[in-house]
Structure 1
Amino acid sequence: MTISEPCFKGVWSQIRKRLSQADMEEAGMIARLLWTRRNDFVDGKELRHPNSIIQKAAADLMCFRETQNKTSVETNRGSRPHVKWKRPPEGKYKLNWDAAMDVSRGLVGMGAIIRDYNREVLATLRARRKLTLSPFNAEAHALMLAVLFSKEAGFLDLMLEADSLHVVEKLEKPVEDWSIGGLIVKDTRNVLKSFVSWSVCHTKRDANMVAHKLAKDALLSDYDQYDLEEIPICIKQLVATEAL
């Protein structure tokens, strides 16, 4: 695409005519961050690497779309109750996992929780890695870590659940994907072959908030935390609410 305009306003006008809505949203995020990068540099701050701009734009765009989708659903359906976490069938365990990102520091927080039919918390995981990943790759990394943790802890009859539709679909219906996240999901499927049984399903963020809070809390710690039959303080209230 070649555009020759004397000012940014003219360039933006031409871009709007040629890009789809989704591409326009991404371009807008990147343009905003580039301008912020320029201002920070003028103010004497370190010039951020272009890769950090792309990663931050992807994370911001994901949050924007999730908010837009939530607003749209609430507008179309009124004040619909939040989706609640559901316990697994008797004799099975449910693993919820999530990832959180601190793009400015290049960190990924990963959280996971295993509960049973009685809604008892059997195990939790909080881990932080110094990685610069896309949201999909971060969620895939969290999935792998959670599955390995479950295997090590002996929970081999597992229902997996998360709010990352992309990762869930990749795990449920494998397709050729040579991206970092795609390869991680493929390796995770190989690990799951050693389990007694497993299944995976997608849920809304409302029903995955405990795992999300664990992932956010992981960003605050310098070391991994693995707890068996103990409930971390950061999720105690939420776990109690979901057990009602």
Structure 2
Amino acid sequence: MASDEVCGKLSTEFFEGADGVRCQSVEPNSRCAFQRRREGSAHDGDCYSLKVHWGLEDGKIGLIEEFKASQDQLAIHASREAVQSWCPPPGTLFKLNFDAAVFMDTESSGFGVVIRNNMGEVMAALSTKGPPVANSKEAEILACRKALEFAVEAGFQDVVVEGDNGTVMNGLTTVKPVNSWLGNIYEDARCLAMRFWSVSASCIRRSANGVAHSLARFARQLSEDYVWLEEQPTPAIEALYADSFATA
């Protein structure tokens, strides 16, 4: 009886052995390392060694199950890395999160805004219906402008702005003109941002923007602005609880 060590993705086929026993033939690929993705970059993962036994007593070894288990472990690891939690702002700053939702059936959009302090307490929140939009990018930059306008009018001076659309956040922070049909909206947002004493902006994952997302979805049923001041917005209670649990 012989045994071999193989590493990499496997292809198998069944054949009848000389004694009528169903056996497995295994062929390793040329590569000897799994690849896994972390934060948008590829990294070499662990090299899994799978032992193949030949012989009557080992004909039913769970080779495929072992390979699938190794793939599942990699998938679980990658999914955990993709989850990002909301974090409170440092010191005396306030964190401004916004999001947009597009309602194709009613030809409208919705904007959600929440401002929290370094304790995670809601200082102000907004849910409002928006106009018809051509796509999600238009909805997101309109939501960004609305969020900045809301924060200025509410009297906040030092804010950290967070959204989950990379294109919008890059357009907000760059000093170059945005050469698109949305350029005027970006300019409006930049002008509003200049009215704060201090402001910074960053792009986050959707998983860290749950409260604003809930408020944007809630706007579907509204006909006018809905504002909460120093109280938890009911439509986003579950998302607020998730954020507080993650940062506890």
Q: State the TM-score bracket (shorter-chain normalisation).
A: 0.5 to 0.7
CA contact (8 A) 1:83 1:204 kept: yes
Aligned length: 172
- Partner in structure 2 of residue 216 of structure 1: 217
Q: What is the alpha-carbon distance in structure 1 between the residues aligned to residue 181 and residue 99 of structure 2?
A: 17
Bigger mean CA offset, 117-126 vs 78-87: 78-87
- Partner in structure 1 of residue 48 of structure 2: none
Q: What is the alpha-carbon distance in structure 1 between the residues aligned to residue 133 and residue 192 of structure 2?
A: 24
Identity between Structure 1 and Structure 2 (%): 32
Instruction: Name the aligned partner's letter for residue 164 of structure 1.
Output: N
Q: CA deviation at 1:80?
A: 1.1
Q: CA deviation at 1:76?
A: 8.6
CA contact (8 A) 1:87 1:118 kept: yes
Q: CA deviation at 1:242?
A: 1.0
The DSSP-based 3-state class of the residue aligned with 1:211 is: helix
Q: What is the alpha-carbon distance in structure 1 between the residues aligned to residue 114 and residue 201 of structure 2?
A: 15
Q: CA deviation at 1:84?
A: 0.4
The DSSP-based 3-state class of the residue aligned with 1:148 is: helix
- The alignment's TM-score, normalised by the length of structure 2, stands at 0.65
Q: What is the alpha-carbon distance in structure 2 between the residues aligned to residue 80 and residue 214 of structure 1?
A: 25
Q: What is the alpha-carbon distance in structure 2 between the residues aligned to residue 231 and residue 127 of structure 1?
A: 16
The DSSP-based 3-state class of the residue aligned with 2:109 is: strand
Instruction: Name the aligned partner's letter for residue 213 of structure 2.
Output: H
User: Unaligned stretches of 5+ in structure 2?
Assistant: 1-39, 41-73
Instruction: Name the aligned partner's letter for residue 126 of structure 1.
Output: S
CA contact (8 A) 1:174 1:186 kept: no
What are the Cα deviations for residues 176-219 of structure 1, in whole angstroms up to 9, with x where unaligned? 22434332121111121121000000000000011011000011
Relative to its length, the structure with more helix (as a share) is 1
Q: What is the alpha-carbon distance in structure 2 between the residues aligned to residue 185 and residue 136 of structure 1?
A: 11
Q: What is the alpha-carbon distance in structure 1 between the residues aligned to residue 130 and residue 155 of structure 2?
A: 24
What does 1:182-197 correspond to in 2, within 5 Å? 182-197=183-198
User: Unaligned stretches of 5+ in structure 1?
Assistant: 1-68
Change (3 A) 1:130 1:85: same
Q: Does 1:117 align with 2:115?
A: no
- Partner in structure 1 of residue 78 of structure 2: 78
- Aligned structure 1 segments of 4 or more residues deviating by more than 6 angstroms: none
Q: What is the alpha-carbon distance in structure 1 between the residues aligned to residue 182 and residue 205 of structure 2?
A: 21
Instruction: Name the aligned partner's letter for residue 122 of structure 2.
Output: V
Q: What is the alpha-carbon distance in structure 1 between the residues aligned to residue 211 and residue 112 of structure 2?
A: 8
CA contact (8 A) 1:137 1:180 kept: no
Instruction: Name the aligned partner's letter for residue 80 of structure 2.
Output: R
Q: Does 1:101 align with 2:133?
A: no
- The alignment's TM-score, normalised by the length of structure 1, stands at 0.66
RMSD: 1.8
